[in-house]
A and B are shown apart, each in its own frame.
Chain A
Amino acid sequence: MNLRIEQLSKSFGNRVVLDGLNLTVERGEAIAIVGPSGSGKSTLLNILGSLEKPDSGKVVLGEVVVNELTKHLLEAFRSRSVGFVFQEHLLLPYLSALDNVLLPCLGHPETTPIESARSLLDRVGLTERANDFPSTLSGGERQRVALARALIHEPLMILADEPTGSLDHERAVELVDLLLSEAKMQNRIVIMVTHNLDLAHRLDRTLILTNGQLTLEGG
């Protein structure tokens, strides 16, 4: 079970952003993607998370060719197999930490996994703050709530786009370690975009995105 990316291309107008990109990531592996601004890191994550469609190429997760899924299955795929963490810790201000974690389950009230949400908060070290509202949480705490939310469906793959952007170094390290432990303990794929090479080096591999191609750092 792994993630395979084959000959992935994407351009906006005549501007080529991804150009025949290839990548394979095994389960339990956490990789970092770095690169200059505008190089297409977010675009790549969006395609992996099926928020955007590639012009050509394949994204295969396990047996599933993600970019060939029908609209209906795509939705299910996104909510079951992918967890997003963003730079800004996007939480709904009117929901408690616990409810924010449960947000992806909205619309399926019969299977609301309150217990697993609690244990996720436990895992990110926020057991005590379950019923607190975002306005009373610190930036790092909010980002950990966002991470817990990304994990609620026990996804195969966590996509994190500059998750540490608004955190100080100490908190950033804590979060990256959390991501890493998710990959190792829960056997997930973690792909994190960052500008911070120190943080990138804590992960298994660091890849650089330039000219629409991924190259291994130092390779």
Chain B
Amino acid sequence: MTVFGVALKATRYHWRTHLPAMAFVALATAIVTGALAVQTSIRSDLYASLVTPLGRVNQAFVSNGTFRAELAGSKEVAALSLNATASSSDSRTSFPATIWGLGPESANLWSDYQPLFGGQARVAESLRKQLNLTVGSRLFLRVPVPNAAPLTSVFGRRMASESTVEVSVDVASFLPSQGMGDFSLTPKLGGRPLVIIDREWLSQQLKIGGQANVILSESTDLAKTLSAKLNLADHGIRLSSRPGEMTVRSNHVLLTPKQVTACEVAAQKRGAKTQNTLVALAEEVRIGGRHISYAMVAGRPSKEPGNRRISLNEWAALQLGASVGDKVDVTLLVPKSDGTYRHPTIHGSLAGIVAMKGDGANPNLVPTLSGMTDSQHMSGWSTPFPIDLTRITPSDEDYWKRYQAAPKVFVDSEITQLAWGAGDSVSSVSVTGCTETEFAEALLQVLKPEDSGLSVIRARDNALLAAMGSSDLAGLILGLSSFLILSALAIAGSLLVLNFQSRARDLKLMSYVGLSPKTIFGLLAYEALFAAMTGAIVGTPGGALLAKACLVLLARWQAIPSTLGNVAILLTVKDVVIGLTTSVVCALGAVLIYARPLFSRRGIRRPRPPKPFGSPLGTVSGLLIKSIRQRPLRMLSVAMIVATSTAVLGIAAGSYSNADTSGTGGIRLQVETTLPVAIDWTTVQGRKQLHFDLADEGAFEGIVVYSLLRSPGTDVSCLNPAKPTAPRISAIGADFIHASLFASTDNQGKSAWPQLLGTPTPGSAISAIGDGDTLEWILGTGVGQTLDTQLSNGTNAKLSFAGATHGSFLAGDLLVSKGSFHQLFPDIEAPSLFLVKTPESKQQALSLALARNLSDYGVTIRSTTDILSSLRGVFNAYISIFIVFGVMGLILGVCGASLSAARNALERQAEFALMLAVGLPRSRVRYLMIAETQLGVLLGTSVGLILSVFVALAERASISWLGLLVAAVAIVLTSTISCIAVSALILRRGILGALRSE
């Protein structure tokens, strides 16, 4: 016979009386465990979607262009990853997809990797559904050609049909989701579906055989292993030598500014000199009545602005019969945003004639322009711009045969820059004064990978971080329900002690037979522990149910992606232990507090004799005050629970976000494309160039479009349950800034938009604007603060938040100016996000027209009100949970109130019996029994109301006065009814019994 054993027997004997207490402990346990289970389950699902698909991949080495596939070591996998659009033979629309060209060595990284033959593809499940594919289906992929000329330059191929290659593949099998099918370097849920094909075959289709743009590796220090192996070709740099000089060119048409600087530094090291060139194409060079057509022009920087001195090579001078000092007209081809070309003519004077050697006949000054420099004949040119082949003469062809693309005209690079858009571009650097090997060695030493757009993405680290989830759901639920958990446990504790008190005789007996207070306390503590444990254990599976209900509701209310609603609930040992311990420890704590009056320092307290009650003829209110003064905590605890839950309800109800459309900024449609659209489809001319259907023209009348450049990266809004590791960044133009579509204020209350306009100095923080809630809750930053973050291209950026928008549908993006964006993502030149204002009547027609005509670009169109309502849905879902918890709190509050009334009545039944016996009316006695508790409820309700109004005013939220009133009346009414019911029960049974036993 041990204390433990006796307590166990006591618990078993009294289990019925402990049932209510156990139920409250079970409720608290269910909430705690459920909250933790929600978090764990979401995290494990995120892990399965974000981390598992990585296989053994740890890091990835990526390039804006391409590098040699053999750069990959034996344990690494060279890959070609490209955004593309996919369509099937019987689908009229195409869907976005990400192509991964992989080789058989990928089996090192994914144990379930299945090697593919050329022309075969493994396709993600999601694409199978979209395109209704089966094994053996033919899939058409539109893949952009890597290393192409900048889209916005004269050599840029802006039509999707020109800038992409269509490859067709046969579907060999499908990729499971939460496996390789969800593979992505930037952790992203519901990203573009994957299509895996053989890399070598793909590179041949794209005419870049042996090239790759990603190396996937198990290594955690890929930067170190690879940077030692990089050669100039991997940097996308090509050295070509001719007697007496050499030329540095980029495989990606233009050298990056950092590459140009590196060339200068390397040349300086070797005591050599450099000369930068930017080429352009002259449609015509004319002197007097004679002209030549389609001549390459080399632009050289001079320090004088407006320099119009022009040189010709000897061949051109001969053709034009030119002599120094003649007036020369050079007509250039300059692209316009609508897809057409300007033909500006530069008037200059002939400053010199260059001999047909060295610069005068150097085709190496011109970068590889596919369709032109790789053509055998000029008449075989395939150019992105319109060309009149009849203007090409036999002597032009002769020149092409001897000197290929060697520039015939030399001007200031200010002039050739016109053909490339704004900036300071360089297409080649000539180096004189050292040997090729000397220079190559020096250049390789100076060049850093990031100078050439090469970087390492820590894919696994990012995925692990993202899988932690964007918001602390467990914290949120626990925070919302903490008062509920605590009051449930407090009620449980007080119920347990109430049970002990009703067994005062047993306690007295124990002390009479000589048990020490310690032993008696031990017995009670064990009994409380057993009851609490039982409740907690019963509550644990309830936690799983609650978690499931939470997820299903959150998914139904669209606060989390619907797939998360189907997630299997995970109860980890850790969560269960935390849930059990929290509730058991808190319940025992409550028991300790409530049981204190049972024990005195000297041992068990004898039941106190009822205090003298005063005259029954005294005022009833006087009696009430006396009894409250005796036990103030009892009334206050009821008041506290009721106040908190009333406030929670009041605040939550006022925070519901209703169908407010100011967040659209007047914009109706959000149009996203997979491939950037370099031709401005918002103009009539642009649409013509893009071959839009003429019949659709009507739909485009009266529209206003803001075109945004957009980086890959993750949605930062609350719609994304994964933690964003590389935020998606969009670039807005001056039109957007001036339109003031959304209010965004800085900390001084001034509009923050103009702050984006200034030109950013390289290296300093970049001004950005984001959604206020996103900044605060997801990115953990705010207006006036800076955020260091990795970008989707593997580089790092420092963003400084000039202001925040509130309730805008653009919450998923961080907005920067186009100038800043160019610094962050130099290779993204054309917009892929379009915000369209259109009359409501045309919205439907416009959507259809855009879906049809932009289909090659992989277009997705959503109405901004849809986006807003899904964003608001998240917010409202949390509010709903808030309200559910508030209501549960109120139920508990009412339970607590009637319990308190019951205790009051039970403890003082002798008093009340006496009062009845001396003839006080029953109603009076009843009033006395419940007045104390009701006072607590009233006090709690008023404090709660005042609190919620105060918070609503401070937050400038709308107040639902009617709602508050209804809630308050409901609380007071239910608690009154329940108290009356409880006291009536006691009045009928207890008091008469008490009277008899007196």
Residues of A within 8 A of B (CB): 49, 51, 71, 75, 78-80, 82, 84, 86, 90, 92-95, 99, 102-107, 109, 112, 149-150, 153
Contacts and interface: CB of A to CB of B under 8 A. Distances in A.
A95 B6 contact: yes
Contacts of B3: 106-107, 109
Contact of B602 (A71, A90, A109, A112): A71
Given A86-B512, A90-B512, 5 more contacts: A75-B516, A86-B509, A90-B506, A106-B523, A107-B516
Contacts of A105: 1
Most buried by A among B12, B509, B522: B509
B518 interface: yes
Of listed A71, A79, A86, A92, residue having the most chain B CB within 10 A: A92
A149 B9 CA distance: 19
A99 B7 CA distance: 12
Nearest to B511: A51
A104 B6 contact: no
A140 to B, nearest CB: 19
**Most chain B Cβ neighbours within 10 Å, of A71, A95, A150:** A95
Contact of A92 (B506, B514, B519, B602): B506
B509 A75 contact: no
Contacts of B14: 94
Contacts of B6: 92, 95, 99, 103, 106
- Give 6 closest A-B pairs by Cβ, nearest first: A79-B514, A94-B13, A107-B519, A90-B509, A104-B513, A94-B9
Contacts of B514: 75, 78-80, 82, 104, 153
Contacts of B2: 106, 109
Contacts, number: 64
Contacts of A86: 509, 512
B10 interface: yes
Given A92-B10, A93-B13, A106 B602 contact: no
B12 A107 contact: no
B505 interface: yes
B973 interface: no
Which DSSP category, helix, strand, loop or mixed, fits chain B's interface? Answer: helix
Interface residues of B, number: 24
Interface of B: 1-3, 6, 9-10, 12-14, 505-506, 508-510, 512-516, 518-519, 522-523, 602
Contacts of B13: 93-94
Nearest to A90: B509
Nearest to A52: B606
B513 A84 contact: yes
A94 B513 contact: no
Given A92-B10, A94-B13, A103 B512 contact: no
B611 to A, nearest CB: 15
Nearest to A80: B514
19 contacts: A51-B512, A75-B516, A90-B505, A90-B506, A92-B6, A92-B506, A94-B10, A94-B12, A94-B14, A95-B9, A99-B9, A104-B514, A106-B3, A106-B519, A107-B3, A109-B1, A112-B1, A149-B513, A153-B514
Nearest to B514: A79
A84 B512 CA distance: 7
A153 B3 CA distance: 18
Contacts of B508: 90
Contacts of B12: 94
Nearest to B516: A75
A51 B515 CA distance: 12
A103 B518 contact: no
Contact of B510 (A99, A103, A112, A150): A103
A92 B3 CA distance: 14
Given A93-B13, A94-B14, A95-B9, A104 B1 contact: no
